[in-house]
């Protein structure tokens, strides 16, 4: 029995030391939040909220979302997929021109669920950044890994390339990618809205317009409640300004 136990301990050490395990290194939320390496939300006293839209652009829904945002004087952040940008270059340009932020969601929408080489992750980020800069002149600092799959390597590669990883408020995960129905999306956002929230939505969901229909109700309701809808950069800068009132700009 003792021998068996020793064998198991030995094998476990071998697996850990050689990296034989396919599970990448990952810590819990508080670890990354304390180090300011990953952001889930930006709690604050002021009524600011950041809407984020992933996976686009989409020829049908993204322009409708842009129309609605304009109508309510709302700004948002679009986490775009690099390989969709050439086809929908005009939509990307419109996002930037209308004051929204175009941010990085990898080139091929890769789920970093297993150990992946640093160069693969870096290329996914850098290739997308090149496209964003080419089309908008912007250089984003925000990276959202597809499916929310992050680990130490993903975070470190993002940091080495000048990015902070942006997740979303756990109480603001609308699951709109799964077409749960317009009411559910609306209720998720409105019943949970808090200052500094980062709301997760998708402007590119296969054939679905639920996100657009939900926004038609969410935007006026948040507006009536006194919220200002801002980009991730505005949300972060506002927090910095409030926390450091005497720092010259
Ligand atoms: Zn995505």
Blockwise average pLDDT, block size 10, the chain, 249 residues: 62 52 83 95 97 98 98 98 98 98 98 91 98 95 97 96 97 96 98 98 96 98 97 96 76
Residues around the ion ligand 1 (C-beta < 5 A): 54-55, 146
Sign of CA dihedral 134, 113, 197, 245: negative
Distance CA 174, CA 169 (A): 10
* Residue 206 alpha carbon to ligand 1 centre in Å: 12
Q: Is the pTM of this model over 0.75?
A: yes
Would you state the structure tokens that stand for residue 187, as one six-digit string? 């209720």
Name the CATH architecture for the domain at 29-243. Answer: Alpha-Beta Barrel (3.20)
Q: How far apart are CA 101 and CA 234, in angstroms?
A: 10
Strands (E), 108-195: 142-143, 164-166
| 224 has catalytic annotation | no
Query: For residue 122, how many other CB atoms are within 10 A of its CB?
Result: 14
The verdict on whether 109 is a catalytic residue reads no
Q: Which of 105, 197, 202, 203 is catalytic?
A: 202
Domain layout of the chain by residue ranges: 29-243
As a whole number of angstroms, the distance between CA 190 and CA 105 comes to 26
**Which among 54, 55, 197, 203 is annotated as catalytic?**
54
User: pLDDT, tens digit, for every residue of 177-197?
Assistant: 999 999 999 999 999 999 999
Q: Give 109 Cα–ligand 1 centroid separation in angstroms.
A: 6
- Rounded distance between C-alpha atoms, residue 2 and residue 225, angstroms: 66
């Amino acid at each position: 029995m003792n021998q068996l136990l020793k064998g198991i301990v030995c094998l476990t050490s071998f697996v850990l030391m050689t990296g034989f395990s396919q599970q990448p290194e990952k810590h819990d939320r508080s670890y990354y939040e304390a180090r300011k390496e990953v952001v889930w939300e930006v709690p604050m006293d002021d009524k600011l909220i950041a809407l984020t839209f992933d996976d686009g652009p989409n020829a049908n829904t993204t322009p409708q979302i842009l129309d609605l945002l304009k109508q309510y004087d709302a700004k948002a952040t679009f986490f775009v997929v690099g390989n969709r940008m050439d086809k929908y270059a005009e939509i990307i340009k419109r996002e930037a021109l209308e004051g929204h932020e175009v941010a990085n969601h990898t080139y091929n929408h890769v789920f970093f669920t297993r150990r992946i080489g640093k160069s693969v992750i870096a290329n996914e980020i850098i290739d997308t950044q090149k496209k964003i800069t080419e089309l908008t002149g912007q250089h984003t600092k925000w990276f959202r890994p597809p499916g929310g799959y992050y680990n130490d390597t993903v975070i470190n590669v993002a940091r080495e390339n000048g990015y902070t990883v942006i997740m979303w408020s756990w109480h603001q995960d609308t699951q709109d990618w799964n077409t749960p129905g317009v009411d559910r999306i609306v209720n998720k956002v409105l019943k949970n809205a808090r200052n500094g929230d980062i709301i997760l939505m998708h402007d590119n969901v296969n054939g679905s317009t639920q996100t657009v229909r939900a926004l038609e109700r969410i935007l006026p309701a948040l507006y009536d409640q006194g919220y200002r809808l801002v980009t991730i950069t505005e949300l972060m800068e506002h927090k910095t300004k409030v926390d450091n009132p005497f720092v010259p700009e």
